[in-house]
């Protein structure tokens, strides 16, 4: 990325990490989303929800009963029977509960998608923070390089008897201050790079030089962002949970229809002289006198109300946030682009004038250093504006359910 002081330098000292391939935003996001830990997390949550759906749709196991009875009045008379029984759901509750569990599977899937979006947004923030710190360090290195130029000028003027010892000492102190600030910025860069690597790679490999544009592209129209809110994964998950609660409520409303248990099996009677065989058929059903799933219906209704209430609050909050972010990002992008265009030309002219004036003896060293500091401040101001614009754009993309711009 070009910066303000590139007009003064043809080459900059390259750090050791530039020897590795550069890392783009798209590659950083791809590596973060491809981590096995994320896949395991998503698969575990999804498989657990699918297991619940499988359990909700399964028939209850049949039961096998055996009885043996010795009849009164005869020590040899016995009655023996075998019976297999199966419960049948005539109300359709099991089908409704299976549908509800399937909606929860969809909600978990939407939750996984939301987690991926959040991870992508965090990766983009870490990437552009590193890019921002990298450009600040480059600007600081360019500022430090100016001392070489000034020292040469002072040496030449000193040999001609036109430079004082004060200028040398003042330049030395300014150089020490610049080196201290540069060391601090390099520390911030190292920290930002480590945080980025923690998201995209667990092997400890270096990421290489960060390559990309700090200033984001222009935003799409606000109406397009507002229309995409309903497709956000977290809102989709809330909608699926509300639907699941509705299905649970419908199942509970059929609590007055009991399950019928039908049994059938052979029976044998032996009184010592006669053996008789027959078939036993049984039919049983609970009487829904007290428990008609009132508690389940009340709970399902409460869960549906809760999910829809949360959906409305989240969407309203997201809409307001989206409008604000759209205006903020537009202003920051325009301000950064305008400031870069104007400040670059002005700073370059000021530096040429200040250098010529100092060499001609028209100004002091302090005025020359002040011109250099002004150029550095202009560069860092541009970078700050671009970094803030990028942060607003990342938040905007997350709100609209986008992984990248």
Report d(CA 371, CA 394) in Å as an integer.
Answer: 35
pLDDT at residue 6 greater than cutoff 60: no
Tell me the average pLDDT across 312-333: 93
Which pLDDT score is estimated for 372? Answer: 77
pTM of the model: 0.81
Residues 69, 201: one domain?
Answer: no
**What CATH number does residue 384 fall under?**
1.20.1600.10
pLDDT at residue 160 greater than cutoff 70: no
* 287 vs 273 pLDDT, higher one: 287
Query: Domain for residue 156, yes or no?
Result: yes
Residues 245, 273: one domain?
Answer: no
Residues 278, 350: one domain?
Answer: no
Residues 152, 67: one domain?
Answer: no
* 133 vs 256 pLDDT, higher one: 133
Q: Which of the listed residues 265, 292, 319 is the one where a domain comes to its end?
A: 292
pLDDT at residue 12 greater than cutoff 60: no
Q: Mean pLDDT for the chain?
A: 83
Which pLDDT score is estimated for 367? Answer: 73
Q: Which of the listed residues 240, 275, 292 is the one where a domain comes to its end?
A: 292
Residues 278, 133: one domain?
Answer: no
Size of the chain in residues:
405
Question: Is residue 306 a contact partner of residue 244, using CB atoms and an 8 Å limit?
Answer: no
Residues 378, 391: one domain?
Answer: yes
Query: Domain for residue 164, yes or no?
Result: yes
Domain count along the chain = 2
In the three-class reduction of DSSP (H, G, I as helix; E, B as strand; rest coil), residue 199 is classed as helix
Residues 300, 275: one domain?
Answer: no
Domain that holds residue 269: 61-88+256-292
pLDDT tens, residue by residue, 285-319: 888 888 888 888 899 999 999 999 999 999 999 99
Query: Domain for residue 11, yes or no?
Result: no
Residues 318, 183: one domain?
Answer: yes
Residues 228, 133: one domain?
Answer: yes
Query: Domain for residue 148, yes or no?
Result: yes
Residues 228, 322: one domain?
Answer: yes
pLDDT grade for 143, boundaries at 50, 70 and 90: confident
Query: Domain for residue 21, yes or no?
Result: no
Report d(CA 236, CA 322) in Å as an integer.
Answer: 18
Question: Is residue 18 a contact partner of residue 67, using CB atoms and an 8 Å limit?
Answer: no
Helix, strand, coil fractions of the chain, as percent rounded to 5: 65, 10, 20
Residues 224, 177: one domain?
Answer: yes
Q: Find, among 275, 315, 268, the residue nearest to 68 by Cα.
A: 268
Least confident span in 7-11, 54-58, 141-145, 155-159? 7-11
Report d(CA 101, CA 179) in Å as an integer.
Answer: 62
In the three-class reduction of DSSP (H, G, I as helix; E, B as strand; rest coil), residue 68 is classed as strand
pLDDT at residue 17 greater than cutoff 60: no
User: Tokens standing for 209?
Assistant: 């030089």
- CA-based torsion, 4, 7, 12, 18: positive or negative: positive
Tell me the average pLDDT across 90-117: 93
Tell me the average pLDDT across 212-232: 89
Q: What are phi and psi of 177, to 5 degrees?
A: -65, -45
pLDDT at residue 263 greater than cutoff 60: yes
Question: Is residue 33 a contact partner of residue 112, using CB atoms and an 8 Å limit?
Answer: no
Query: Domain for residue 70, yes or no?
Result: yes
Residues 221, 283: one domain?
Answer: no
pLDDT tens, residue by residue, 166-197: 666 677 777 778 888 889 999 999 999 999 99
Q: Which of the listed residues 241, 276, 292 is the one where a domain comes to its end?
A: 292
Helical ranges in 71-92 per DSSP H:
none
Question: What's the N-to-C CA distance of the chain in angstroms?
Answer: 19
């Amino acid at each position: 990325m070009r910066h303000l002081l590139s007009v003064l330098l043809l080459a900059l000292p390259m750090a050791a990490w530039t020897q590795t391939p550069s890392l783009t935003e798209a590659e950083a996001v791809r590596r973060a989303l491809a981590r096995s830990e994320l896949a395991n997390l998503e698969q575990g949550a999804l498989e657990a929800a699918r297991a619940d759906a499988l359990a909700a749709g399964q028939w209850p196991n049949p039961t096998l009963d055996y009885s043996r009875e010795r009849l009164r009045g005869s020590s040899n008379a016995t009655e023996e029977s075998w019976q297999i029984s199966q419960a049948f759901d005539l109300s359709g509750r099991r089908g409704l509960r299976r549908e509800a569990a399937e909606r929860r599977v969809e909600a978990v899937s939407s939750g996984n998608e939301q987690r991926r979006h959040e991870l992508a947004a965090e990766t983009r923030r870490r990437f552009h923070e590193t890019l921002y710190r990298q450009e600040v360090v480059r600007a600081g290195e360019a500022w430090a390089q100016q001392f070489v130029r000034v020292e040469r000028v002072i040496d030449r003027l000193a040999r001609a008897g036109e430079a004082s010892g004060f200028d040398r000492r003042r330049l030395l102190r300014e150089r020490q201050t610049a080196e201290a600030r540069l060391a601090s910025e390099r520390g911030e860069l190292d920290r930002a790079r480590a945080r980025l690597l923690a998201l995209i790679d667990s092997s400890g490999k270096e990421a290489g030089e960060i390559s990309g544009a700090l200033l984001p592209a222009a935003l799409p129209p606000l109406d397009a962002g507002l229309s995409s809110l309903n497709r956000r994964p977290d809102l989709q998950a809330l909608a699926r949970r509300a639907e699941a609660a509705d299905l649970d409520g419908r199942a509970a409303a059929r609590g007055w229809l009991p399950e019928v248990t039908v049994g059938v099996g052979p029976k044998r009677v032996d009184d010592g002289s006669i053996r008789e065989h027959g078939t036993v058929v049984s039919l049983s059903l609970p009487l829904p006198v007290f428990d008609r799933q009132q508690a389940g219906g009340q709970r399902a209704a409460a869960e549906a109300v809760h999910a829809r209430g949360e959906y409305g609050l989240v969407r309203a909050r997201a809409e307001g946030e989206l409008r604000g972010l759209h205006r903020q990002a537009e202003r920051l992008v325009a301000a950064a682009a305008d400031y870069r265009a104007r400040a670059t030309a002005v700073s370059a002219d000021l530096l040429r004038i200040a250098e010529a004036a100092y060499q001609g003896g028209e100004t002091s060293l302090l005025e020359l250093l002040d011109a250099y500091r002004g150029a550095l401040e202009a560069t860092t101001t541009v970078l700050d504006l671009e970094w803030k614009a990028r942060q607003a754009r990342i938040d905007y993309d997350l709100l609209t359910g986008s992984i990248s711009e």
